[in-house]
Chain A
């Protein structure tokens, strides 16, 4: 074949594909049942069940509460180069209002002209109100050893103040709707040496990696997993982690390069996950395996 012929043939394929894609958009939600696989292995593993039992017992005296208390202290204390507290920080419900803020984020903030998730907004306030430098906060943003970064405690405090409330991530502002749609694209973006996307592991119900159940984060029913228990006290390693950490570690497993701490990419993803979880009741910071 000459290259011109090839071009024509391939152009036809391309057009067919566009039509197919558009038809798909109109049709039912993605991912109908695939293949006949895993019928035999779908029962939740014994280890996971064991852990769930243990977690119920632990939930009463959760170590996460220690970090809530630390976060409250940090919120109210005058700190940083500007010697200010965070009580003037607007989390979307008015200056200083913490109650119910977590279940209504990510949201659009006009002062920053950005859609921001809770941790991103807290860091924004630490920078603008208290004079901390974002680059310093981004140096070691995740818990390790005996060190828990301040934003992690702060986000735990803020999250605790939405305990028992309905998740209601807003989609009124055009930028919020854009963040949802861009987040969805990022969720489905396969790349890297192993061709993985979030969707590879979280796009279907009933799957496991080893004994870990993988929530289908594209389904209304299971998307609550993105919210519930994050921030969470992770018993593996005994560390308090926020959703920022969870997504960072999933990108690592995805064999991607590292996303920037409190970056727009993360806020976009969290908007997508959060809107999917809308309507569920958030039970507050908890314990993770």
Chain B
């Protein structure tokens, strides 16, 4: 993870402006959580610590002023590591499996990529309608059925979808969608497979 100086200034100024509030419920909430939580399995206690983006979204009820959101979104945009080979489309079949898989990053999961760990999933179906066969899908996110058909298959769309999965906050600062590349939940290859699920003309998503 990178450190963004601009945003850190923002957070400090922001924090001190809020400190004048008489009833510091947020401060008490953070202190209580710091005291009451413990590391379990791979879920280390330092997960309670907010990064700059989380801090700003938390303090603004997920609605920071536009200008600030733009600055921070650009920070997130710079964080995205696009594939070195310039190719975005992997294998949609494997993408479907990743979209289905809901495991990963909880204290009852093993670290992915270790010999004993299972691969992480994207939990995509938890929040999105995607393929036509899967009727058990969540509704926190919009439907992605026919995504390529509607939005086009071109390189710009491919790059956008890769980036959105890598870091959803680069396009919508306080989005509910996790940052799968930034948090190292999914690998470059896995994200490419998901892009293919949405944008390969042969994928069932686009039939």
Decide whether A and B assemble into one complex: yes
> Which residues from chain A sit less than 8 Å from chain B, CB to CB?
3, 6-7, 10-11, 13-18, 20-21, 24, 30, 35, 37-38, 40-42, 45, 47, 178, 181-186, 188-197, 200-201, 206-211, 214, 252-253, 255-260, 263-266, 268
With CB as the reference atom, state the residue of chain B lying closest to A197: B58
* Among B26, B30, B39, B53, contact of A257 (Cβ-Cβ < 8 Å): B39
Check if A190 sits within 8 Å of B139, measured CB to CB.
no
Most buried by A among B29, B39, B56: B29
Given contacts A35-B142, A41-B143, A208-B139, contact A258 B43 (CB under 8 A): yes
- Is B84 interfacial (CB-CB < 8 Å)? no
Chain A residues contacting B67 (CB-CB under 8 Å) are 13, 16
In order of increasing CB-CB distance, the 10 nearest A-B pairs are A185-B29, A194-B178, A263-B36, A14-B13, A193-B183, A258-B40, A13-B68, A265-B36, A37-B142, A181-B25
B residues in contact with A197, CB < 8 Å: 58
**Contact (A6, B9) CB under 8 Å given A14-B14, A196-B178:** yes
CB of B141 closer than 8 Å to a CB of A: yes
Interface residues of B in 1-53 (CB under 8 A from A): 5-6, 9-10, 13-14, 17-18, 23, 25-26, 28-30, 32-33, 35-40, 43-45, 47-50, 53
A258-B178 CB under 8 A given contacts A10-B10, A208-B139: no
Query: Chain A contacts of B57 at CB under 8 A?
Result: 190, 195
Contact status of A195 and B65, CB under 8 A, knowing A185-B29, A257-B40 = no
When the two chains form the complex, which single residue of A7, A24, A214, A257 contacts B9, counting CB atoms closer than 8 Å?
Answer: A7
Which listed residue (A13, A47, A268) contacts B32, Cβ 8 A? A268
State the Cβ distance, B41 to closest chain A Cβ, in Å: 9
Q: Are B179 and A195 in contact (CB under 8 A)?
A: yes
* Chain A contacts for B107, CB-based, 8 A: 252, 257-258
What residues of B have a CB within 8 angstroms of the CB of A16 in the complex?
65, 67-68
**B64 located at the interface, meaning its Cβ lies under 8 Å from any Cβ of chain A in the complex:** yes
Measured CB to CB, the nearest residue on chain A to B9 is A10
CA distance A148 to B2 in the complex (A): 46
Contact across chains for A191 and B23 when beta carbons are under 8 A apart = no
Q: Are A258 and B136 in contact (CB under 8 A)?
A: no
Identify B59's interface contact among A3, A21, A37, A184, CB under 8 A.
A21
Pairwise interchain contact B68-A17, C-beta atoms closer than 8 A: yes
Q: A185 to chain B: which residues have CB within 8 Å? A: 25-26, 28-30
Tell me if B169 is interfacial: C-beta within 8 Å of chain A.
Answer: yes
Give which listed residue, B17, B45, B58, contacts A188 with CB less than 8 A: B58
List residues of chain B with CB within 8 A of the CB of A265.
32-33, 36-37
Q: CB-CB < 8 A to B65: which residues of A?
A: 13, 16-17, 20
Q: Roughly how many angstroms separate A84 CA and B43 CA in the complex, as a whole number?
A: 39
Segment at the A interface, from B87-95, B121-129, B149-157, B192-200: B121-129
Q: Which single residue of chain B is at the shortest CB-CB distance from A211? A: B136
A252 to B87 Cα, complex, angstroms: 35
Closest to A253 in B: B106
B47 contacts A256, C-beta separation under 8 Å: yes
Query: What are 15 A-B contacts with C-beta separation under 8 Å?
Result: A10-B6, A13-B68, A16-B67, A18-B17, A37-B141, A185-B29, A186-B29, A190-B50, A191-B50, A193-B184, A195-B169, A210-B126, A210-B136, A255-B47, A257-B107
